[in-house]
């Protein structure tokens, strides 16, 4: 006697979602994102889980860290974003990056270090309420609470300590 059973793709997805299991996983990923034929970013991660089966809040998880390099229009590395853990919510395009978070702008040589960062990819905006260190070629600023554009060119630092070099036009 032979027996067989089948489940539809929807039934399998629903089962996995109920058990909070990913619908996909990958190791040592390297993803190149192109926009209009031009490479705009590269993503590397040791482990990736796809929870796009979650009805309310589908997400992607990078439990062992992530590194994202954005590429400018000339093909040079623009900004590098890295951290020990990351979640990206598919619908809102908001990511949470935790643990040893470092953002480096290679063009203007600025660097942000913090333990937790939120990244709104639709608005091209970073923010944290955690402690941070922000370094420019002229200054090093420490504090709690930081907001900036995605390329770190425009920023607001809260509750700060450190030396900041300014010119009269900056005031």
The span from the CA of 52 to the CA of 24, in Å, is 9
In this prediction, residues 88-113 reach a mean pLDDT of 96
CA angle 7, 9, 13 (to 5 degrees): 105
Q: How far is CA 71 from CA 12, 14, 46, 48, 51, in A?
A: 38, 38, 21, 22, 27
Q: Inform me whether the pLDDT recorded for 16 exceeds 70.
A: no
User: How many other C-beta atoms lie within 10 A of the C-beta of residue 119?
Assistant: 23
The predicted structure's pLDDT at residue 38: 92
pLDDT digits (tens, 9 = 90+) for 138-171: 889 999 999 999 999 999 999 988 666 666 665 5
The predicted structure's pLDDT at residue 21: 82
- What average pLDDT is seen over the chain? 88
List the chain domain ranges.
Answer: 9-164
pLDDT digits (tens, 9 = 90+) for 36-80: 889 999 999 999 999 998 888 999 999 999 999 999 888 899 999
Stated length of the chain:
171
Task: For residue 116, name the pLDDT band (cuts at 50, 70, 90).
Answer: very high
Q: Tell me the CB-side half-sphere exposure of residue 34, using CA atoms within 13 A.
A: 3
The secondary structure of 13-71 as a DSSP string is HHHHHHTT--SEEEEEEEEEEEETTEEEEEEEEEEEEEETT-SSS-EEEETT-EEEEEE
Closest C-alpha among 57, 77, 80 to residue 68: 80
Class of domain 9-164: mainly beta
In this prediction, residues 13-20 reach a mean pLDDT of 61
pTM of the complete model? 0.81
């Amino acid at each position: 006697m032979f027996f067989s059973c089948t489940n539809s793709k929807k039934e399998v997805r629903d089962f996995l979602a109920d058990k909070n299991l990913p619908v996909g996983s990958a190791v040592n990923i390297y993803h190149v994102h192109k926009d209009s034929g031009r490479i705009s970013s590269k993503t590397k991660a040791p482990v990736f889980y796809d929870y796009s089966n979650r009805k309310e809040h589908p997400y992607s998880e990078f439990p062992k860290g992530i590194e994202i390099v954005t590429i400018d229009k000339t093909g040079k590395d623009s900004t590098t974003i890295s951290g020990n853990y990351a979640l990206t919510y598919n619908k809102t395009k908001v990511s949470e990056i935790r643990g040893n978070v470092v953002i480096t702008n290679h063009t203007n040589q600025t660097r942000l270090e913090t333990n937790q960062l939120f990244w709104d990819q639709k608005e091209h905006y970073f923010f944290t309420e955690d402690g941070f260190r922000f370094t420019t070629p002229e200054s090093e600023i420490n504090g709690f609470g930081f907001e900036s554009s995605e390329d770190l060119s425009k920023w607001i630092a809260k509750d700060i300590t450190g030396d900041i070099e300014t010119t009269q036009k900056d005031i």
